Amino acid sequence: MKIIDLAKEWRETTPVFVTRGEAFFPDGQDWLSIGHTSVATVGFFDGVHVGHRHLIEQVKEEARRRELPSVVITFPVHPREVLQSDYRPLLLNEFEEKVSLLASTGIDYCINLPFTEALSRLSAEEFMRRVLKQTLQVDTLFVGYDHRFGRDREEGYEQYARHGQVMGMKVVLATRFPLDEERNVSSSLIRSLLQSGNIQDANRLLSYRYTLSGTIVPGNRVGRTIGFPTANIQLRELNKVVPAKGVYAVRVQLKGDEVFPGMLYIGTRPTFNQESVISVEVNLFNFDGDLYGQSLSVEFVDFVRGEVKFNSKEELVARLHRDKEEVMKMVSDCLPASLL
């Protein structure tokens, strides 16, 4: 996948809003110089879940049939962050993670589009004509079954199709991913599943294991005193969804692609104190070394149990030993035998 980063200048300076479509964005000529039209879809694509992948497969199929490049157009930040300075979205992906997941779909191009206040003021017709048609040369646009864009977000597929007919752009309504009759696959549904500890269903809808990444920082070292030393994780993306409080079976990837089974805890340590701040800490199995300052990624395999306040340290330790046995069973099918 080739990345066309129209948002590069936006991240470094304030982009210039130019009324002529051919110069709408900084570095826009990087795309125009390719010299061909495309089959595209546009959206934030948080999670790059099975519904998104279903949409992208339709874009790729049409692009192959037409012998045109397939394109995903997305944004580096959530549009509401630009419009509401105090808005903090709950995200399923960091931006770089999202781009990597989009690459895994086999799409030809990913165009990173800066979402600016000027862009937000465009009507759906203006966005289609000035940005998609004139600047990005979209020939065929696939619209998600529930996706809306433009200044007021009041228009839908029928209006988009009429606008497209006038400007010479084919607009196709994508089919929905068949989850069930009552529910649609959505980023909101997956966030809700994670926040309730339903890891397996969340992973199934994502099509990969949900991941948190960060850096190991010093903690209170209580785990060392009970035989379960933990590494405290300072999350890299503070807006990412943190799953429900409790204990989880995880795969932990360290720098250099080393992978270890682990037991992750999310909570406030109620057995030892009454902290209000939620900590994220992981106990790595079969690991001996210093982790401070290292980066790691934690893939959630399954939920073990919720947060519990134990009556004594001994009761906690006994439960942790049972938890570890349960975790090893859960991760046995996603790790090399040498690590089990």
CATH of the domain at 56: 3.40.50.620
Give residue 13's pLDDT.
43
**Residue predicted with more confidence, 148 or 162:** 162
**Residues 156 and 302 grouped into a single domain:** no
H or E segment at 55? helix 50-66
| Helix-helix angle 199-206:187-195, to 10 degrees | 160
21 pLDDT more than 60: no
**Residues 15 and 161 grouped into a single domain:** yes
**Residues 132 and 7 grouped into a single domain:** yes
The CA distance from 310 to 299, in Å, is 27
**Residues 210 and 167 grouped into a single domain:** no
- pLDDT tens digits along 130-142: 889 988 889 999 9
Residue tagged 């580096």 (tokens): 76
- 314 is a domain residue: yes
The CA distance from 291 to 218, in Å, is 10
CB 48 within 8 A of CB 102: yes
- 184 is a domain residue: no
**Residues 136 and 264 grouped into a single domain:** no
**Residues 213 and 162 grouped into a single domain:** no
**Residues 148 and 207 grouped into a single domain:** no
- 192 is a domain residue: no
Our count of domains for the chain comes to: 2
CATH of the domain at 328: 2.40.30.30
**Residue predicted with more confidence, 81 or 264:** 264
**Residues 242 and 330 grouped into a single domain:** yes
Last residue of a domain, one of 123, 139, 173: 173
Position 53, amino acid: R
Question: What phi and psi, each to the nearest 5 degrees, are found at residue 44?
Answer: -80, -35
- 8 is a domain residue: yes
257 pLDDT more than 80: no
- 146 is a domain residue: yes
**Residues 94 and 205 grouped into a single domain:** no
**Residues 22 and 122 grouped into a single domain:** yes
List the Cα angle 210/254/53 in 5-degree steps: 30
Last residue of a domain, one of 127, 157, 173: 173
**Residues 204 and 146 grouped into a single domain:** no
Give residue 86's pLDDT.
79
- 187 is a domain residue: no
Work out the pLDDT band at 271, boundaries 50, 70, 90: confident
- 234 is a domain residue: yes
Top-ranked range on mean pLDDT: pick from 76-85, 137-146, 160-169, 288-297: 160-169
Number of CB atoms found within 10 A of residue 146's CB: 12
274 pLDDT more than 80: no
Last residue of a domain, one of 173, 189, 222: 173
pTM of the model: 0.89
DSSP at 127: I
Q: Work out whether strand 295-305 and strand 211-217 pair parallel, antiparallel, or are unpaired.
A: antiparallel
Show the domain range for 292: 199-339
State what percent of residues in the chain have pLDDT above 70. 85
**Residues 26 and 155 grouped into a single domain:** yes
Q: Work out whether strand 38-42 and strand 138-143 pair parallel, antiparallel, or are unpaired.
A: parallel
How far is residue 334 from each of residues 97, 143, 240, 260, 301, measured CA to CA in Å? 21, 36, 24, 10, 9
- 158 is a domain residue: yes
